Chains A and B, each alone.
Chain A
Amino acid sequence: MPAKAAKLDLFKTLKQDYVAPRKPVVVKTSPAKYLAIEGLGKPGGEEFQACIGALYGVAFTIKMTRKFAGQRDYAVSKLEAQWWADGTNDLGRAPMDKWRWKLLIRTPDFIGQQDLDRAKAVLLKRGKGQEVMRVQLETIDEGTCVQMLHVGPYEREGETVAVMRQFAESRHYAFDGRHHEIYLSDPRRVPPERLKTILREPVKPAP
């Protein structure tokens, strides 16, 4: 059997982007390549679930196509998402069915448009749904951010964000950009009080 290169796990090779501290820290993120799909509506709603399915479907199809061809294997990274709402900086003020989200899966640099197009074609041939067409490859540069681990239900993230905001202000930063979450736990079975989610808020120097 041929010797295998160590399996690539982006959360490990890019561990500076994926720190999960119990107290807020400043993180200088690098431009990041993702598979992404954008949508509107309640987290856990039909559109949301369909888009998660499409995103993972594309991610696994790209990975397995390369693996079948004997190319370097890598782990499909855990789900992330950016969240925002039109007309307000405070997501909590907008009703959930008006929340906008961009679901993300961090993807190795060697994945290109060709890989994506091929995966979409194969999935569509199998009747895998129009959401697949909406998946894009995107590079997002969030620059300097404040990052912290949130343990507990998603509904209580406000408390962690408040701690992060205070920390940012103490360092003369202001929040500037979309709220970003990195899902370390699977909400389907993990009890809400034990969910672990990394929260990231891009910042700019305070005026």
Chain B
Amino acid sequence: MATRRTSTLRDYQERVLRVVVYIQDHLDEELALERLARIACFSPCHFHRIFQGMVGESLSDYVRRLRLERAATRLKLDSASILSIALDAGYSSHEAFTRSFRSAFGLPPSRYRHSQRSSRARNAPSGLHYEPRRRPREFRPVNTEPPMDVRIISLKPMRVAFLRHVGPYSEVGATWDKLLTYLGKEGFLGGDAMFIGICHDDPEVTPASKIRYDACVTVDPCFKPVGDIGVQSVAGGPYAVTTHFGPYHQLGVTYTRLLGEWLPRSGRVLRDAPCFDVYLNDPQGTAPEDLITDVYAPLR
């Protein structure tokens, strides 16, 4: 049996810092998620949530803020036009740049240029800022109170019938309808069926039209694939599980906290397999605030 891998909060911080340093050194480049995940040695399907949960900003917000802070530095240091600084910062117009800049600094670039304000934007929970002469060596990992209620359980592998949905997460209902209607009339919705959603892509990172989501229902061996409905196995093993109360569209917050706050402090490491949701009640006939969903993250 493989020894359980452990990892401390410091280990997680160091891996995120590798990405932070890389971003600072390559601020003008494309910064693809897969590349950053590899630098941090996290699997791409989990990396973004870990980063966002620990740093307190999504990757794109973080990069945007660093570019704005660098632009702020330039506004003070040289006399280039605001438009050229805007274009270098990745904005397509003076107006777009001004809007973002004002949101980050509280005043427009023209007034900032002549002010004494620092080049640190507001809203940086991690304490990480653009600092070209220094390599960031630490940051404040986010830790909201109260701590999450997470239990570690051991699952047996589960055989599921599933329908894949590609498209916005908000539209998975139609896929569930189709799957449940078919399975129901065929007698596969006995009382012990579990309803599982596997989201292979992070809605924060992947364009809505490309998000892959599998609507799954546990079935016994007598179910055979038919038409679009396939069969797959959900891996067994140890899982961290937390319960999300409330609307499905807020599940992202729970995922981010589980992977970005609980996980780095748990001593555990994730397996390279997707997280999934288990829906405990029926969204038809249940008010959104009464919905109950268990979120599962696979551990090594």
Contacts and interface: CB of A to CB of B under 8 A. Distances in A.
A56 B187 contact: no
B220 interface: yes
Given A188-B280, A189-B243, A189-B245, A123 B182 contact: no
A65 B292 CA distance: 26
A84 to B, nearest CB: 24
Interface stretch (A38-46, A70-78, A144-152): A70-78
Contacts of A76: 282, 284-285
A68 B284 contact: no
Interface string A98-129: 00000000000000000000010011111111
Interface residues of A, number: 36
A122 B186 contact: yes
Interface string B54-98: 000000000000000000000000000000000000000000000
Contacts of B171: none
Interface string A63-97: 11101100000011110000000000000000000
B222 interface: yes
Contacts of A188: 280, 292
B139 interface: no
Nearest to B223: A126
Contact of B185 (A7, A64, A190): A64
Contacts of A185: 290
B246 to A, nearest CB: 12
B206 interface: no
A68 B222 contact: no
B37 interface: no
A64 B191 contact: no
Interface of B is mostly: loop
A64 B222 contact: no
B11 to A, nearest CB: 32
A190 B49 CA distance: 27
B285 A67 contact: no
Interface string A23-65: 0000000000000000000000000001011111100110111
A11 interface: yes
Given A53-B191, A126-B222, A63 B290 contact: no
Nearest to A131: B191
A190 B281 CA distance: 12
Contacts of B188: 126
A143 B243 CA distance: 40
A77 B285 contact: yes
Given A55-B191, A189-B245, A64 B284 contact: no
A64 B181 CA distance: 5
A138 interface: no
Contact of A123 (B180, B187, B280, B282): B187
Contacts of B284: 7, 9, 75-76
A61 B285 contact: no
B222 A75 contact: no
Contacts of B145: none
B268 to A, nearest CB: 23
Contacts of A77: 285
A57 B189 CA distance: 6
B294 to A, nearest CB: 8
Contacts of A129: 190
B39 to A, nearest CB: 38
Contact of A11 (B281, B285, B290, B294): B285
Contact of A78 (B186, B192, B285): B285
A61 B222 CA distance: 17
Interface in A1-35: 7, 9, 11
A190 B285 contact: no
Given A75-B282, A78-B285, A188-B292, A61 B187 contact: yes
Given A67-B181, A123-B190, A124-B187, 8 more contacts: A7-B284, A9-B285, A50-B191, A60-B184, A64-B184, A126-B220, A188-B292, A189-B280
18 contacts: A7-B284, A9-B284, A53-B190, A54-B191, A57-B189, A57-B191, A61-B184, A63-B184, A68-B181, A68-B182, A77-B285, A123-B187, A125-B187, A126-B190, A132-B190, A186-B292, A189-B294, A190-B292
